[in-house]
Amino acid sequence: MMRSILVLIMVTAVLTLSAVTQDVPVKEKNITLEFENIHIKDIEFISGNKIEIEHAKNADVTIVKEKQKVIIKADKTAKIDLFLPSEKIYTLMEDGGKIEFNENRVTIIEGENKVVEFRDGGLFVTDNDETVEISADGIIVNSDDEHVEISSRGIIVEAPDESQHITGFWGQLLGGAINFITKYSIGWIGNNPGFIVKHIINDDDYAGGVNMNFNLSDGDKITKEFHETFNPKRGCKLNVHNRNGKVEIKSWKEDYIDISAILETNKSEDEFEKIKIEVLDEDGCTIKTKELKKNPKVSVNYEIKVPEGVKVSEINSSNGKILIIDCEGDMNLNTSNGKIEVFDSNGKFIAKSSNGGIEFVNLSGIAEAITSNGAIRVVRTPEFKKGVTSNGKITIEIEEKMKNDIYLSTSNGSINISIDPTLDLNIDASTSNSRIDLNGIEVTSSKFSKNSLIGKINKGGTKITASTSNGNIKFYKLEK
């Protein structure tokens, strides 16, 4: 009898605690979410057009759909797992606070201004004309006329009245230490919007304002390594197609291609079975991250070393940074969410990012940078032609005669142009809601007002066209 009673109790407990799933069809692209007495156990992004809410059978969870708003509530605190369609944008709003997120990023907005953003494995903070990036790359600060960087490259300070590049052993040692710290504190959560939003929702003090006091630990991240080497034919074109993660390519003195990758997931090792790294030709020049099952929660971070004679060609990543150092080739560099950096390279460079900054330093060859949301920085690149961003600052240094006309455009951001004042240049600059500062550079102008300038420096020559809707345009003398 006693055994039967125990079995009955156990069966009753299982039935009481068994999970049920409620579905909410959502055709809209933008969806507002509200929660009342809800604690999130986990948030996952899935394919399809329905929100799935999974909870215990005895939890009294009610779901209300009002146009583009979904309200999930309970009389008493209820724990749920939340599954959100991945192709949509979600908003949390309360008392004027606004948080927008999708499977790639979390943006915290104050009024009409983007203040804090988690993306690309990093934290980005904007305050007026100053941006701070804290990520696996280190700490980077860009203000209206200054650039400060502490990274694995060293310590770099660039301002109108100061320029220091501590990139030797001690600079790289300190920068590398900070790089390590930021990678394992901020870096991981920037790739986990669900993790961030879950903690914001679960915060007892959440009421429109943003309390970011949650644990930034590495969680239960699982990693797996990939490594192969190949002997390429001279002149082979390197192509990399990644789906989620960074791609780093460097030259080296060996005569073979070395491909290393770190696979990361916060789920289980079974998640690694959902993707495959394919090398599609025998000389290792075409590398692809292939998706075997839908919605793999895996990032793949490549580090590729190439010998002389290998040409970097098509490099694509849906979510991740692209870094090229000391390479050659006609390069098409594309990422949906990530920064693109190219240093000390030869060839042709077209870099495009939907959400991320672009930096060119010491390049030989025609170069163009296009991004929707991010800063553009160009140094020692005499054949640079175009820099376009919708939201971001543009900084360029011109220290030798240009080989092309330059076009610079941003909708929301300042433009800083540092030039050798002995060069012969034509200038066409305009800003809708700010001013133009020449800072002592002599310009013979045919049109000059607070926010518009057409003229020439010295004899005139190749042309710089600079335009911004909201931001200053400032010229600085670049001393040799």
Most confident of 62-76, 131-145, 332-346: 332-346
267 assigned to some structural domain: yes
Residues 6+ apart with CB under 8 A from 362: 343, 344, 345, 379, 380, 381
Does residue 76 lie in a domain region? no
DSSP state for residue 367 in the 8-state scheme? E
**Distances in Å between the alpha carbon of 44 and those of 64, 86, 299, 452, 456?**
20, 9, 15, 49, 56
Domain assignment present for 105: no
Q: What is the per-residue pLDDT for 186?
A: 58
Token pair, residue 365, equals 């060859």
pLDDT, tens only, 249-269: 999 999 999 999 999 988 888
Asked whether residue 78 is assigned to any structural domain, the reply reads no
In a domain, 223, yes or no: yes
More confident residue, 125 or 51: 51
pTM: 0.63
- What are the φ and ψ backbone dihedral angles of 214, each rounded to 5 degrees? -125, 165
The string over 238-250, giving b where at least 16 C-beta atoms fall within 10 Å of a residue's C-beta and e elsewhere, is bbbbbbbbbbbbb
Domain span holding position 276:
219-320
Identify the pLDDT of residue 216: 37
Give residue 352's pLDDT: 93
Q: pLDDT tens, 144-169?
A: 667 777 776 667 776 666 566 665 65
Share of the chain above pLDDT 70, in %: 80
pLDDT in tens, 72-96: 988 888 888 899 988 888 988 755 5
Residue 261 forms part of a structural domain: yes
Structure tokens at 412: 């929301």
The pLDDT value given to residue 220: 60
Domain count, the chain: 1
Share of the chain above pLDDT 90, in %: 31
The pLDDT confidence band at residue 116, using thresholds 50, 70 and 90, is: confident
Q: Give a yes or no: residue 340 inside a domain.
A: no
Q: Does any domain span residue 16?
A: no
pLDDT higher than threshold 80 for residue 349:
yes
**What local confidence, expressed as pLDDT, does residue 165 receive?**
62
The per-residue pLDDT for range 274-315, each reduced to its tens digit, is 999 999 877 678 999 999 988 888 999 999 999 999 999 999
Of 112-116, 169-173, 176-180, 192-196, which one has max mean pLDDT? 192-196
Give phi and psi for 434, each to the nearest 5: -155, -145
Nearest to 242 by CA among 328, 329, 304, 301: 301
The whole-number average pLDDT for the span 114-130 is: 73
- Look at residue 226 and tell me whether its pLDDT is greater than 80: yes
